[in-house]
Amino acid sequence: MQFNKQPNQKTIAATVNTPFHTGGRLTVVGAGPGDPELITVKAIKALQSADVVLYDALVNEELLQYAPKAEMIFVGKRKGCYTFQQDQINELIVSRAKSHGHVVRLKGGDPFVFGRGSEEMEFAARHGLETVMVPGISSSLSVPAYQNIPVTKRGASESFWVITGTTKQHKLSKDVALAAKSNATVVILMGMSKLPEIVSLFKKVGKVDTPIAIIQNGTRKDEKIGVGTISNIEDEVKKNKLSNPAIIIIGEVVRHRKQLLELKNQYEKVESEKCFFIKS
């Protein structure tokens, strides 16, 4: 397994301008939300046959062990800094596919949920590459689930929104205002920098007491969570030192987590009392 975290731009330019073998294949693979066990069998098989793996910052690097013969290139963003711009990633996909064979583009969550997977596949197809998509477990559903928060629950929520917190223009999506007016669960990805705006929109429609949870590094060992209401969530964020990458979940379903914990505690209390009486 060869690691090439930051090939310089001269290397990329030289590769792009080099005559290629015909053919080449791109497989866009969803790596799941973070827990390395939350990856599909099909995704593992794709990695095992990869000649090159281009992976993002949200990908758990433990997954790279499934591609022992592949060249590894980190193309993600960390602390606001891009290793490569999207156009450069597109060119890198095509150049490596035509010079090496099978390129796996490994993305966190599901590549078709705010992952730009479709854009990369279109670019590859226009340049004659075979393209394959392997879906992943989306963080929008699995991260709340790991904290016992369902996105739907009978009597509480009949539907859910999944919205990007930051649009192409680096602004809050207008859909958040629409979602705030509904009774649906609202899941916002990439929204931490816009949290004050999100809170303001929900307050405007009288939802100050609506439950909200923010989960950082969901499904990973360093996962953190803050739970509150629209009125106090910003204080919870400060108290728990929450930051990106995080998912915001808003709606009555958030209460399920507390209810489940209370039921568990009640059961354990009853069982411990039974043991006490038996021993007595």
**pLDDT tens per residue, range 100-144:** 999 999 999 999 999 999 999 999 999 999 999 999 999 999 999
Given a cut of 50, the residues of the chain with pLDDT beneath it are: 8-21
Number of domains in the chain: 2
- 267 belongs to a structural domain: no
pLDDT for the residue numbered 278 = 64
Q: Are residues 48 and 154 in the same domain?
A: no
Q: Which residues contact 262 (CB under 8 A, 6 or more apart)?
A: none
Q: Are residues 92 and 184 in the same domain?
A: no
pLDDT for the residue numbered 80 = 63
pLDDT for the residue numbered 14 = 36
Q: Encoding tokens for residue 87? A: 């156009």
pLDDT for the residue numbered 213 = 98
Please give the model's pTM, rounded to 2 decimal places: 0.85
Q: Are residues 243 and 155 in the same domain?
A: yes
Active site residues: 56, 77, 190
Residues 52 and 104: beta-carbon distance below 8 Å: yes
- 268 belongs to a structural domain: no
pLDDT for the residue numbered 90 = 97
- Among 107, 137, 167, give the residue marking a domain's end: 137
Q: Are residues 112 and 203 in the same domain?
A: no
Q: Are residues 112 and 181 in the same domain?
A: no
Q: Are residues 75 and 166 in the same domain?
A: no
Q: Encoding tokens for residue 61? A: 């690097």
Dmax (CA) for the chain in angstroms is 84
pLDDT for the residue numbered 66 = 98
Structural domain harbouring 112: 2-137
- 265 belongs to a structural domain: no
224-229 and 211-216 strand pairing? antiparallel
CATH code of the domain containing 220: 3.30.950.10
Q: Sheet harboring 160-164: ordered strands across?
A: 160-164, 185-189, 246-250, 211-216, 224-229
Q: Are residues 221 and 125 in the same domain?
A: no
Q: Encoding tokens for residue 230? A: 């629209």
